[in-house]
Amino acid sequence: MGGYGDVQLLRDDGSRLDGRKLDEMRPVKIEAGVLPAADGSAMVTHGLNVAVAAVYGPMEAHPRKIQRQDRAVIDVRYNMAPFSTSDRIRPGFNRRSREISKVTAEALESVVLVERYPRSKIRVEIEILAAEAGTRCAGITAAAVALADAGIPMRDLIVGVASGKIEDTVVLDLDKAEDNYGQADLPVGILPNTGEIAFLQMDGDLSPDEYNLAMEYNFKAAKEIHEIMVEALQKRYEGGEA
């Protein structure tokens, strides 16, 4: 059974409660350039999650103490809207949003060619409009598309994906019930072209075999999401606008 008593997360036929297969992702939709005031922006709909990312800069880094003489700093602000969940979230920063902002900034710093913009700052704002487990992954994916849309040079388009364990079974892309009552969650930031991992967190326990299977699912999903990201960017500009 799951991590919390008698909650049943898998049907008798082995499929999940929402009818997905074990290695099936929720539907993903990506749109680039949704905010006209930002230098680059994107909206990611991942299942019931809706994440909007806006990128501003590169600009002079303020306050000056955050400036780095040899590279740019990436300033990420991840925030969940008060109406994004069924229980109202108190507006403003909290421990969780600070943590996610930090890990997202570190993940993005590993792909952005930060050495091109010494002493500068690239501001990334991630706003979660609707949440249903996996918001940090949706936020990272949205930020990557927004950075590309803003013309920021990067080694690759980073993709946020997650796998986990429910009822001793490894599954891809946990939904809300699976996240709340499951046994483990493994969100990862993957660079699909090189296969590198830019960030990895794990909540719960996985055996080595389970971990390998979860990563296999993550890499497969990252390839699929990467194709959608590229399509979203191409759709915006290949129609004639440039």
Partner 1 sequence: MSQGQNGAEQRLVTPGMAIGPSAGKRAGSGIITEQETMIATQLGWLQEKNNTMSVHPIHSAYMPRSGDLVVANVAEVRNNLWFMDINGAFQGLLPMSLAPWKVEFGAARQHMDVGNVVLARVQEVDECHNVVLTMKGVGLRRLNQGAVESIPVQHIDRVRGDNNSLLQRLRDACDCRIMVGENGRVWIDGDSKGIAWARKALQMVAEKGHTTEFEAILAEMEQEKKGDA
Q: Does 210 contact partner 1 by CB under 8 A?
A: no
From 14-22, 77-85, 100-108, 229-237, span contacting partner 1 (CB under 8 A): 229-237
30, 46, 84, 117: residue in contact with partner 1 (rule CB under 8 A): 117
**Which one of residues 73, 103, 133, 229 is an interface residue with partner 1 (CB under 8 A)?**
229
Which of 1, 22, 154, 200: binder of partner 1 (CB under 8 A)?
154
Q: Whose Cβ is closer to partner 1: residue 52's or residue 222's?
A: 222
Residue 66 Cβ, how far from partner 1 at the closest point, in Å?
14
Site for partner 1 in 6-45 (CB under 8 A): 39-40
**Least separation in angstroms between CB 143 and partner 1:** 13
Which residues, other chains included, contact 121 with Cβ-Cβ below 8 Å and sequence gap of 6+? 57, 58, 59, 60, 61, 62, 66, 67, 72, 73, 74, 75
Strands (E), 66-175: 73-80, 120-130, 159-166, 169-172
Is residue 120 a contact residue for partner 1 (CB under 8 A)?
yes
CB neighbour class for 17 (10 Å; exposed up to 12, middle 13-18, buried from 19): middle
Residue 157 is a binding residue for partner 1 (CB under 8 A): yes
| 130 alpha carbon, distance to own chain's centre | 14
Pattern 174-203, binding to partner 1, x per CB under 8 A? -----------------xxxx---------
Residue closer to partner 1 by CB (options 91, 151) is 151
Residue 54 lies near partner 1 (rule: CB under 8 A): no
Rg (CA), the chain: 18
CB 163 within 8 A of CB 128: no
Contact 227, 193 (CB under 8 A): no
Across the strands, what pairs with 125?
A: 54, 77
- Contact (CB, 8 A) for 113 and 70: no
Q: Which residue ranges make up the site for partner 1 (CB under 8 A)? A: 39-40, 57-60, 69, 111, 113, 117-120, 147-157, 191-194, 229-230, 233-234, 237-238, 240-242
